[in-house]
Structure 1
Amino acid sequence: MYLNNHSYYSLRYGTLSPQELVQQATDCGLDRVVLTDINNTSGVFEFYKACREARVTPVVGIEFRQDNQLRYIGLAQNEEGFRELTTLLSAHLTAGKMIPRIAPEWEHAVAIYAALPKPIGDFRPHEYYGVRPEEVNNLYSSPIRQHLDRVVALAPVTFDREDGHRLHKLLRCIDENIVIGQLRDYPIADEHEYLVPVDELKRRYAPYPQIVNNTEALLKECGFEMRLGSENNRRYFTGNGEEDMALLTKLAYRGCRRRYASDPRARERVNKELKVIDQLGFATYFLITWDIVRYAQSVGYYHIGRGSGANSIVAFCLYITDVDPLELDLYFERFINPYRTSPPDFDIDFSWNERDDVTDYVFKRYGRERTALLATYSTFKGRSIIRELGKVFGLPKADIDVLVNEPQRTDKHHAYGKHIFYFGKKLEGLPNHLSIHAGGIVISERPLYYHTALQMMPKGFPIVQFDMYAAEDMGFHKYDILSQRGLGHIRDAVDYIRENQHESVNVHDIARIKSDQRVKERLRSGNCIGCFYIESPAMRGLLHKLECDNYVGLVAASSIIRPGVAKSGMMREYIHRAHHPESFNYLHETYETHLKETYGVMVYQEDVMKIVHHFAGLDLDESDVLRRIMTGKKKSSDTFRNLQAKFFRNARERGHDPALTREVWRQVESFSGYSFCKAHSASFAVESFQSLYLKTYYPLEFMVAVINNFGGFYSTELYVHEARMAGGNIESPCINHSRYLTHVTGEDIYIGFVHIRELERKVATAILEERENNGAFTGLVDFLQRVHLPRIQLDLLIRVGAFRFTGMSKYELMWEKNTVRSARTTACGVGDLFEEERDEFTLPRFEVVPHEQAFDEIELLGFPLTSPFELVAEAPAHECPALELHRREGQSVTMLGYYVCRKHVTTVNKKHMNFGTWLDRAGHFFDTVHFPPALARCPFKGKGMYVIRGRIVLDFGFPSVEVSHMEKVPFVADKRY
């Protein structure tokens, strides 16, 4: 009887989840339940599942609205009808087409109008008119009464009975960005739009039983079966399954010969994987991923194939990844096995400014009707709810801030505070709007309109209206096309080396790079600033403590530094065992055999599989299932209990001591919650080695690449400093040498125009174009006659030193600019025929203020290009150099440090402590520890220079200063102000 039901996927309108809607509908006696969200199909899959679980028939549709005005409700009679509905909605959401006032001539869907767009006598067979319960009495005198065969009951459902309408009104206010008092001017749902028992609804239509009969008959014509499973994916890459498998086999064998020559272990592993891939029907998935990577390589893009897909030797042989699974003893079963219910996925990283082009290729290659990005749901949560509701109730910002920052201080809250918190709790978790998944793409066999409507996003790619979890449950394979700036560092560095050094660098010769002694020495030193994944202070310290100088060690380091491992104490135990391998005994020979490279410590998710498989004899497939359950939330499942029982049964049959078995199980169970995928770490470690190689042999080009990609752990200032430490001559922006981005020529590094605050891009572009077309500028007069720019923009260039080549001071330049007419063009497009005469002036003598250039650079670039230590007003009498710290363990020292960054930590006693990172006068790093008492006495006071006093401690040879006193030191005064 209910033909128009909304879930909370009628965004900022409905309040019920699809599950709640189905539950309430069945409680009211319905055996067919309808979902018709407003211009949205996000809830269809959840609704379908809930209906199947409740054993009621699902009916799906869409409520079509244009500019918040209801056009009609479309109900699908079958999946073809759903396609018809989603096709219309997709045209609206992707191309901006208007929803027509009259429904299209659907063959498998019906349209229900709430207002007559044409005479009811002209209705086509699929068109109906919906009458609300409160409108029934009006039919007596209405001409509609003569066409009752086209009339159905229309009782919309939007919320539940308790507080539902009030919550709906708040959502409408948030959507319209209005206060509650303005809502009367906007369309909202009727206060009775909630479910009532079927018999009660039928009584409201008792004067016209034909309406009830029409409605029930219409519902019986409608239904929906959603196709689930892997057949939703593109079925073939070539023409059929056999050809796909033949092509994959050919590519795998060819890659195996290139990667391994004639290694029989590799060929055996390839054959084993191909058999499983064929058995599970994943050949097409591999080939499409290979095709994506192949395109990227063809246009010169770098990529990293990471995640569990790097466990596959077939992926390695197809050059999807550069991780050798034989070298690292990676298990293919971690990626694909016959017991795995969810589809596998490859994570392919591209540079941040190349990812969109790769995505565009995928859309063009596989078709826009069959390709889309996955969505994510941005939900109402936390403080944002309080702010939104505060605005709805018309509270001033100060009162909202009190509610947000002091939620427990009810005595300070506005009178509306209790209502805001009450309804905020009800809003929490409701979807607010759709966004884009980080990089997930689905490629469907049939047009995606059979599964969802498509919605265009600002980047120009459409999304499906479901997220990755629904995609997985529906059987869709996900292709993760991701981005990161580390690959941009590598790509740009190679380009800069070619331009500056006239050399070609092969960063894909991973075996050579991993064995390079100078690269290994740099890794051991921890001097890895700018290098992907290993540049942070914590990683720098860990590499130093481990004396890590090889690929396998770096893979482990990339895993044990993660919060879970470090918090459990296993990171410290790992470092101890690495330094003192004779100081411990392996728990069992299985640990010694299979965890020797990590000193018997389980570091990776794959380690769980190894121990369970080799200690208790579970199949690798079963071991991966157990690992997945332990890292999830299904420990109460029958599968988990059965595998746990098999673990103990097999261990007993193998003769293991029961106490030993319990301890192994305890370690496996406790470790699984924070374990990390080894293949993932291995993928990152490959990229880290590529960065290390470039930093070692081409440090200037590499650091310029880091600067120009605007991403990393540190600020631009620190990367500029690192380039200076590598021998670069840092030059401020110059109108004759700088480009828009920073660049290197020889050993000179010119800061790019992009770094000058408030300099407009069009000004920088005009300078570069004029210089390219007509040569270098000879001076300020020449510049102003050739480039038109606002005077305030000229002032920025003068102050930053962009005209220093003239030999004139800033004051002289500021004076001279007023005597020169700027570049201009007449209406006819012809410049001056004769050179303009200029008055000659005798300039007064200007006094140069000390450090004025540094202060201008701080204002315009954000940091000085000279050493900030030159600006200190008063330095301590004695400073301990950072390079001396490791030789002075236990001594108290005084340091003068330039702030780099700090890390906040909460102790077990809920107190705050910090770890600081600094530069000394010579430009070297040192680290500090600020325990809660010292931090409370001497807090950080922002960026700048500090005098630090404390005691030197060594942790596995890595020095740091335990701070007892710290104070910020002022810079010298800028005497211009």
Structure 2
Amino acid sequence: MNTAHSTQIHYAELHCLSNFSFLRSASHARELVERAAELGYEALAITDECSLAGIVRAHIAANERQLKLIVGSEFHLEEGLHLVLLCPNKRAYMELSGLITQARLNSEKGSYRLSLKDLTQRIRHCFALWLLPYNEKDFTEHTAYAESLKNLFNDRLWIGFQRLHRQGEQLFYQRCHALANDWNLPMTACGGILMHQRQRKPLHDILSAIRLNTPLALLGSHVNANSENYLRDLKTLSSLYPPALLEESADIARRCHFSLSELSYQYPDEVVPAGKTAAEFLRELTEAGAHKRWPRGIPDTVNRLIEHELSLISELSYEHYFLTVYDIVQFARSQNILCQGRGSAANSAVCYCLHITEVDPSRGQLLFERFISKERDEAPDIDVDFEHERREEVIQYIYRKYGRDRAALAATVITYQMRSAVRDVGKALGFDEAMITQLGKSLAWWDKREALLQRLQELGLQGQTAAHFYELVQQLYGFPRHLSQHVG
């Protein structure tokens, strides 16, 4: 490989996993973004495996650090192919979201299943990095799919090459290069990043042990041989890769223009009758509801509140949102399903008139701006509780009316708390159950490092072992452990 230095190095990391690739990456999305910005990268792609769960956190951090963020995801296909898909535009993001949904629906909870046929049916705009298997003697089995990949992606396909100081890497590069020449495919550098700094390698080893449910001492070759899957500085990269491969990564990044900032809420049109605007229909329902709430006459203070709220709702174009919630609540009430709005929505006279909430604005001073304000620049949050035994009826109504392609249950992120971090790190280090139980009872000590180390020594953990255990638990604390269905 010719790795001659160029005057200015341009590089974008196009294959990077955050800790939302559960138990595979040892860094938070924010840490990865901040480190990439410090190193002067042109861009960073967060490409968690069959997931977009970490991308919002990365987006917020990237905006703060003014680093270009590329949205993507990696997949291991049934055919044995390993691909990283990137989103150059909004259409590609829509495709990728649909592909992830399909892959998850194809499989049991917690896993996914995807084939080349699924990509052929869904993907038209995504870029793709094709990562060839390092540990196989030849690419015969994989090159059988080269024509299919070339036909599917056209000029949106690259062979991704990673330099990780593995034995035989020069020969591997030559084989990748030969395949690229045979099929007229460009090559690009990428890192297969699993941590923002190499100092996270001990934690990454622990995560591997947890994922494989095997004590670290018995993992053998299942632990990464070195700590090279981290964000390296530009000088190091220029000594590892041919300049053309580094420049190609930056060129790919420059062709990616999509940002999460382009997304906005899109509410269903079904909630507005033909011949009326959303604003007209919401006003009509609100006024009808107000007359029901105050049959003897609507107080002047309430009329002023309603006008103020409707004006702000109209200015921010939130009518469809209110009408959607109203529609769902009306269905529940028509079926005698108990329901009631709560939280900041109780500050809304419009919500009261729509029978979403039960807080009478004429009996107190509501502060609508706690619920909606121009300054916050985000949609309001109307929480509605439905009786537990009949909530499924409401969910099925939503699916029937709006379609399963436009309605979904929200996820919640389960993160490592201190007790679960202590338990999993202890098991990964091979501690016996009795010691792990005792350590779990010592949680009150965890905010006092010196006192805790002394406590750990009393339980049989000596010197460096105690300090190592403490550091690993602190690093793992707050990591996402898995996604679950939101309880609401």
**TM-score, L = length of structure 2:** 0.80
Would you say 1:118 and 2:143 are equivalent positions?
yes
Kindly state the Cα deviation for residue 228 of structure 1 after the two structures are TM-superposed: 5.1
Supply the distance in 2 between the matched residues of 1:250 and 1:322 (Cα, whole angstroms): 19
**Partner residue of 2:429?**
393
2:284 equivalent among 250, 256, 272: 250
Name the % identity: 27
Kindly state the Cα deviation for residue 387 of structure 1 after the two structures are TM-superposed: 0.9
1:200 equivalent among 226, 229, 236: 236
Larger mean Cα displacement after TM superposition, 362-371 or 375-384: 362-371
Are 2:75 and 2:84, in contact at CA under 8 Å, matched by a contact in 1? yes
Supply the distance in 2 between the matched residues of 1:120 and 1:271 (Cα, whole angstroms): 63
Measured against aligned partners, the alpha-carbon deviations of 1:823-869 in whole angstroms (never above 9, x if no partner) come to xxxxxxxxxxxxxxxxxxxxxxxxxxxxxxxxxxxxxxxxxxxxxxx
Query: In structure 2, the residue corresponding to 1:158 is in which secondary structure?
Result: coil
Query: In structure 1, the residue corresponding to 2:115 is in which secondary structure?
Result: coil
- Within-5 A mapping of 1:209-224: 209-224=243-258
Kindly state the Cα deviation for residue 194 of structure 1 after the two structures are TM-superposed: 0.9
- Within-5 A mapping of 1:554-703: none
Kindly state the Cα deviation for residue 145 of structure 1 after the two structures are TM-superposed: 6.4
Kindly state the Cα deviation for residue 141 of structure 1 after the two structures are TM-superposed: 6.5
Would you say 1:232 and 2:232 are equivalent positions?
no
Measured against aligned partners, the alpha-carbon deviations of 1:718-777 in whole angstroms (never above 9, x if no partner) come to xxxxxxxxxxxxxxxxxxxxxxxxxxxxxxxxxxxxxxxxxxxxxxxxxxxxxxxxxxxx
1:111 alignment partner AA: A
Measured against aligned partners, the alpha-carbon deviations of 1:434-471 in whole angstroms (never above 9, x if no partner) come to 123342xxxxxxxxxxxxxxxxxxxxxxxxxxxxxxxx
2:391 equivalent among 355, 358, 373: 355
Kindly state the Cα deviation for residue 87 of structure 1 after the two structures are TM-superposed: 1.8
Are 1:158 and 1:194, in contact at CA under 8 Å, matched by a contact in 2? yes
Would you say 1:93 and 2:104 are equivalent positions?
yes
1:413 equivalent among 455, 460, 463: 460
1:421 alignment partner AA: Y
**Partner residue of 2:126?**
109
Q: Summarize the Cα distance change of 1:192–1:183 in structure 2 as closer, same or farther, 3 Å threshold.
A: same
Kindly state the Cα deviation for residue 184 of structure 1 after the two structures are TM-superposed: 2.8
Query: In structure 1, the residue corresponding to 2:85 is in which secondary structure?
Result: strand
Measured against aligned partners, the alpha-carbon deviations of 1:542-585 in whole angstroms (never above 9, x if no partner) come to xxxxxxxxxxxxxxxxxxxxxxxxxxxxxxxxxxxxxxxxxxxx
**Partner residue of 1:282?**
318
Compare CA radii of gyration and give the structure with the larger one: 1
- Structure 2's unaligned 5+ residue stretches are 1-10, 133-138, 446-451
**Partner residue of 1:425?**
474
Supply the distance in 2 between the matched residues of 1:309 and 1:10 (Cα, whole angstroms): 35
**Partner residue of 1:735?**
none
Supply the distance in 2 between the matched residues of 1:327 and 1:94 (Cα, whole angstroms): 49
Supply the distance in 2 between the matched residues of 1:187 and 1:369 (Cα, whole angstroms): 40
- Of Structure 1 and Structure 2, the greater strand share is in 1
Supply the distance in 1 between the matched residues of 2:249 and 2:375 (Cα, whole angstroms): 46
Are 2:70 and 2:256, in contact at CA under 8 Å, matched by a contact in 1? yes
**Partner residue of 2:8?**
none
1:44 alignment partner AA: I
1:274 alignment partner AA: L
Measured against aligned partners, the alpha-carbon deviations of 1:292-334 in whole angstroms (never above 9, x if no partner) come to 1110011121122222222333222222223322123434444
Q: Summarize the Cα distance change of 1:222–1:241 in structure 2 as closer, same or farther, 3 Å threshold.
A: farther
Supply the distance in 1 between the matched residues of 2:59 and 2:398 (Cα, whole angstroms): 30
Query: In structure 1, the residue corresponding to 2:277 is in which secondary structure?
Result: helix
Are 1:64 and 1:89, in contact at CA under 8 Å, matched by a contact in 2? no
Supply the distance in 2 between the matched residues of 1:114 and 1:326 (Cα, whole angstroms): 65
Measured against aligned partners, the alpha-carbon deviations of 1:668-696 in whole angstroms (never above 9, x if no partner) come to xxxxxxxxxxxxxxxxxxxxxxxxxxxxx
Q: Summarize the Cα distance change of 1:306–1:336 in structure 2 as closer, same or farther, 3 Å threshold.
A: same
Measured against aligned partners, the alpha-carbon deviations of 1:802-840 in whole angstroms (never above 9, x if no partner) come to xxxxxxxxxxxxxxxxxxxxxxxxxxxxxxxxxxxxxxx
Supply the distance in 2 between the matched residues of 1:158 and 1:109 (Cα, whole angstroms): 23
Are 1:8 and 1:16, in contact at CA under 8 Å, matched by a contact in 2? yes
Kindly state the Cα deviation for residue 368 of structure 1 after the two structures are TM-superposed: 2.4
1:377 equivalent among 413, 425, 445: 413
Larger mean Cα displacement after TM superposition, 342-351 or 236-245: 236-245
Kindly state the Cα deviation for residue 235 of structure 1 after the two structures are TM-superposed: 6.3
Measured against aligned partners, the alpha-carbon deviations of 1:923-955 in whole angstroms (never above 9, x if no partner) come to xxxxxxxxxxxxxxxxxxxxxxxxxxxxxxxxx
Measured against aligned partners, the alpha-carbon deviations of 1:127-174 in whole angstroms (never above 9, x if no partner) come to 322222242444447743634743222321111334312211111211
Query: In structure 2, the residue corresponding to 1:128 is in which secondary structure?
Result: strand
2:181 alignment partner AA: Q
**Partner residue of 2:213?**
177
Supply the distance in 1 between the matched residues of 2:254 and 2:212 (Cα, whole angstroms): 38
**Partner residue of 1:130?**
160
**TM-score, L = length of structure 1:** 0.42
Supply the distance in 2 between the matched residues of 1:55 and 1:240 (Cα, whole angstroms): 45
1:62 alignment partner AA: S
- Structure 1's unaligned 5+ residue stretches are 440-977
**Partner residue of 2:136?**
none
How many residue pairs align between the two structures?
A: 436
Are 2:70 and 2:259, in contact at CA under 8 Å, matched by a contact in 1? no
Are 1:149 and 1:214, in contact at CA under 8 Å, matched by a contact in 2? no
1:419 alignment partner AA: H
Give the RMSD, CA atoms, in angstroms.
2.9
Q: Summarize the Cα distance change of 1:218–1:331 in structure 2 as closer, same or farther, 3 Å threshold.
A: closer
Measured against aligned partners, the alpha-carbon deviations of 1:39-71 in whole angstroms (never above 9, x if no partner) come to 22122222223223322322221011369x772
Supply the distance in 2 between the matched residues of 1:267 and 1:219 (Cα, whole angstroms): 54
2:266 alignment partner AA: N
Are 2:159 and 2:186, in contact at CA under 8 Å, matched by a contact in 1? yes
